[in-house]
């Protein structure tokens, strides 16, 4: 699956986190969100838990206000620092593969706008998220509580995972990885699932890796997607 288009960023995102979510989530946005959920259903997303969570997260508030009218189209948008918010169908696929249930501890690599993390929080997960770009980390750290989400964000290199909070029931990587980092499988609980797009011939191939009771790892493949690259080390 490929993004249907990537909208250019016209100017720096002037997100104001002081305005409340209720004031800015209008009936028009809610209507557009319902249509998006129907579209995702038509595209084969069957998890009611994922669809319900995505139906509650106000995606337009994670984007530059210039994108307000297109926020519920199934496209990726630039969010600054050369990064993108994944298109909704990709978020829906990854969230479905993750098989999250209430109370699970989930690690996300690549906080970006915070949208994917918020969808997982809406599903009842305790979400920890790592971002390597200081600019995005700073912005999203303020945005999430303003939207009512308690997500533990960290500024760091996702190749290392988040050892101080391991093990995790689920790990999701939202950037295209050149390989599966050992730290992420080490920090997976027994019975845990890692969802990671790994570089292949045509963009990235979505992999799920499950840690079995004997500690061995089993892998399944779920088709091609396109992500911004996972890069090492933190950047200021
Ligand atoms: N989940 C995000 C999608 C962000 S795009 C959302 O919902 O908006 C991928 C993100 O991964 C970018 O923000 C990028 O800066 C970040 N990233 C890339 N390499 C990383 C690494 N090694 N550690 C942590 N984050 C990384």
151/164 Cα distance (integer angstroms): 16
pTM for the model stands at 0.92
pLDDT tens, 132-190? 999 999 999 999 999 999 999 999 999 999 999 999 999 999 999 999 999 999 999 99
CATH (residue range 21-225) = 3.40.50.150
Nearest to 57 by CA among 9, 21, 83, 85: 21
Question: Are the C-beta atoms of 200 and 226 separated by less than 8 Å?
Answer: no
pLDDT tens, 76-109? 999 999 999 999 999 999 999 999 999 999 999 9
What band does 202 get if pLDDT is binned at 50, 70 and 90? confident
% pLDDT > 70, the chain: 90
- Nearest ligand 1 atom to alpha carbon 91: 7
Task: Give how far the C-alpha of residue 6 lies from the chain's centroid of Cα atoms, to the nearest Å.
Answer: 17
Nearest to 93 by CA among 210, 209, 218, 206: 206
164/86 Cα distance (integer angstroms): 27
Ligand 1 mean position to 159 CA, how many Å?
Answer: 11
Q: Which of 15, 82, 110 to mutate to test the pocket of ligand 1 (most atoms within 8 A of CB)?
A: 110
* Mean pLDDT on 195-210: 96
Question: Are the C-beta atoms of 25 and 58 separated by less than 8 Å?
Answer: yes
Ligand 1 mean position to 85 CA, how many Å?
Answer: 9
Domain spans, the chain: 21-225
Ligand 1 mean position to 214 CA, how many Å?
Answer: 31
Question: Rg for the chain (alpha carbons), in Å?
Answer: 17
218 is catalytic: no
In this structure, the residue with its CA closest to atom 11 of ligand 1 is: 110
Ligand 1 mean position to 187 CA, how many Å?
Answer: 19
Q: Which of 15, 76, 95, 132 to mutate to test the pocket of ligand 1 (most atoms within 8 A of CB)?
A: 132
- Nearest ligand 1 atom to alpha carbon 110: 11
């Amino acid at each position: 699956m490929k993004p249907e288009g990537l909208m250019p960023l016209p100017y720096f995102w002037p997100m104001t986190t002081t305005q409340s979510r209720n004031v800015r989530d209008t009936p028009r946005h809610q209507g557009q969100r319902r249509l998006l959920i129907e579209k995702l259903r038509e595209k084969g997303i069957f998890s009611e838990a994922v669809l319900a969570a995505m139906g509650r997260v106000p995606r337009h508030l994670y984007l530059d206000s210039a994108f307000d009218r297109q926020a519920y189209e199934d496209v990726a948008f630039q969010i600054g620092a050369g990064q993108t918010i994944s298109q909704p169908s990709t978020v829906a696929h990854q969230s479905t593969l993750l098989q999250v249930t209430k109370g699970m501890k989930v690690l996300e690599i690549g906080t970006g706008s915070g949208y994917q993390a918020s969808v997982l929080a809406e599903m009842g997960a305790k979400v920890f998220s790592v971002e390597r770009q200081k600019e995005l980390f700073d912005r999203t750290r303020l945005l999430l509580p303003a939207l009512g989400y308690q997500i533990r964000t960290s500024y760091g290199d996702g190749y290392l995972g988040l050892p101080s909070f391991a093990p995790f029931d689920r790990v999701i990587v939202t950037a295209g990885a050149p390989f599966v980092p050992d730290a992420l499988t080490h920090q997976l609980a027994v019975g845990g699932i890692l969802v990671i797009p790994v570089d292949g011939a045509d963009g990235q191939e979505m992999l799920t890796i499950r840690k079995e009771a004997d500690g061995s790892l089993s892998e399944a493949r779920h088709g091609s997607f396109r992500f911004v690259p996972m890069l090492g080390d933190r950047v200021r």
